[in-house]
Structure formats: C-alpha cells, structure tokens
Amino acid sequence: MKNSIKSFSKARSRSSKKNKKILSIADKTIIWSEENFKDFKFLFSDSSKLNLEIGFGDGILLFDQSSNNPDESFIGIEVFETGIANTYSKIIKSNLKNLKLIQGDVAQILSKNKSKKIFDLIIILFPDPWPKSKHKKRRLLKSDFFIDLQSLLKKDGKIIIKTDWQDYAEEIIETLNKLEHKYDHICESNDLKEFKTKYEKIALKENRLINKFLIPSIGQSSSK
C-alpha cells in the first residue's frame, strides 16, 4: 500500500519511561513492531474467528472483547506507545492467550502483509478526523485503504467504523459510493446499549451524533 502521508501526528507519541521499559522487555510473541512484522498469518496459525482493531487507543474495547471471547483471536494495531504498553500489561496480568499487538503505522503494516481473506471482523473507532481542510489528506479512510481492508476480509466478514465527525462521515459515504461498496449507515444516540469507548462517551456528552458504518465484504448484501 503506497501511502507516504501519515494519518497520525508524531507529537502525540510521547511515552513515559515506564512505558518504554515495559516495551523494551516485552514478549516479542505478543507485541510485534512495524519493523519486525511480516504477515498476519504468523500471529495466529489457527483460529476459527480472527478480529482486527485498527487504532485501538487505550485498548479497553480490544481487551474486553478478547477477554469475553476466548474462542476467538484478536489483533490490535496502534502507533502510540501508551496504548500498546497499557494493553500489554493487561495481557500479561490476565494471562490472555488470544490477543496480540502490533505497534506502528497501519499503512506500512498492511503494505508488508501478503495474506488475504483472513479477518472476520475489522474495527476502526474514531480515527483522527484531521478537521482542518489542509490536513484532510492525512485522513486514514481513503479509497486505497478501503480496497486493502476488503482484501483482508473473509467471505462473510465485515468492517465496522465509527466517527463523531460529521464531515468525515460524509467523506466516508462519498468514498464508499464511488467504490460501489455496499454499507449500512446509522447515527447512534446515547440511548443505544452498546460498549462505548472513551472518545465515544466524550462525543455523546458533547451532544455529537455517532456515525456508524457496517461494511460487508464484497459480494455480501446490505440494506444500502
């Protein structure tokens, strides 16, 4: 995947000495770096259901899902050290066997991967909206990225995306329509009983609607 434009800001990647120490001695079979990553197939050799969360932030949802679904396998990608270190510490403390982490730029990680049709579910929650017009080119969810994600989905797989930024949601709709990818789109309110991330709670507290997209693998049907 050719993408020299970063979808994240390095200024946000500051990490405490504690986090750096955790990562320096971390089990390399649990945490993979962007440099050492080769292919998703090397992380789990056999899994009935494989899930991927891109940009998992504090890792609360990722850890919750992997803890509550021990028969499924989970992979999380995050560029910032704090989320990686905190989630890794939870994995070790709970002796969790079905969750592995990759630290780095998702665009570079996907460009290294050769496996196709491997994931049942891909989740992207509240990607950086880069709200200023001059920065919108940094947004992660562009046409090429959606094409790459579709290549990773199994026949009955799906992608779930959430954003509280209306302009970003409109751009996603425009992109998916141009690609002729089917999708379901709803605006969620605080009434819905579903796991909510830290950013989702903040958005709802500030009365921002949550745009949720459910995108099936190519060939599946949807209401769109």
Residue by residue, DSSP assigns 157-196 as EEEEEEES-HHHHHHHHHHHHHHT---EEEEE-TTS-S--
- The reported pLDDT for the residue numbered 1 is 44
Question: What is the pLDDT at residue 13?
Answer: 46
Is the pLDDT at 166 greater than 50, yes or no?
yes
For residues 192 and 34, which has the higher predicted lDDT (pLDDT)? 34
**Coil, helix or strand at residue 34:** coil
Token representation of residue 101:
């982490």
| Amino acid 136: pLDDT | 92
Please say if the pLDDT value at position 183 is more than 70.
yes
Q: What is the largest CA-CA distance in the chain?
A: 49
**If you average pLDDT over residues 161-169, what whole number do you get?**
94
For residue 142, pLDDT over 50 is answered with yes
Q: Where are the domains of the chain?
A: 19-216
Does residue 208 register a pLDDT over 90? Answer: no
Q: Mean pLDDT over residues 154-158, rounded? A: 96
Q: What's the chain's average pLDDT?
A: 88
**pLDDT tens digit string along 20-51?**
899 999 999 999 999 999 999 999 977 789 99
Instruction: Give CA–CA dist 60/210, Å, rounded.
Output: 18
Of all residues in the chain, the percent with pLDDT exceeding 70 is 83
pLDDT tens per residue, range 79-100? 999 999 999 999 999 999 999 9
Predicted confidence at residue 48, as pLDDT, reads 83
Residue 3 confidence (pLDDT): 46
Task: Return the higher-pLDDT residue of 115 and 203.
Answer: 115
- Angstrom CA distances, 78 to 45, 104, 139, stand at 22, 6, 16
Q: Which of 120, 144, 126, 150 is nearest to 211 (CA)?
A: 126
Round to whole Å and give the CA distance between 217 and 61.
23
Is 105 a known active-site residue? no
Q: Is residue 70's pLDDT more than 80?
A: yes
Phi, psi (deg, nearest 5) at residue 207 = 65, 35
| Catalytic option among 128, 164, 167, 191 | 128
Mean pLDDT of 64-74: 96
Q: What is the pLDDT of residue 18?
A: 87
CATH (residue range 19-216):
3.40.50.150
Collapse the DSSP code of 51 into the 3-class scheme (helix H, G, I; strand E, B; otherwise coil) and give the result: strand
Report the alpha-carbon distance of residue 147 to residue 150 in Å, rounded: 5
Closest CA to 74 of 86, 94, 85, 59: 59
Q: Is 70 exceeded by the pLDDT of residue 193?
A: no
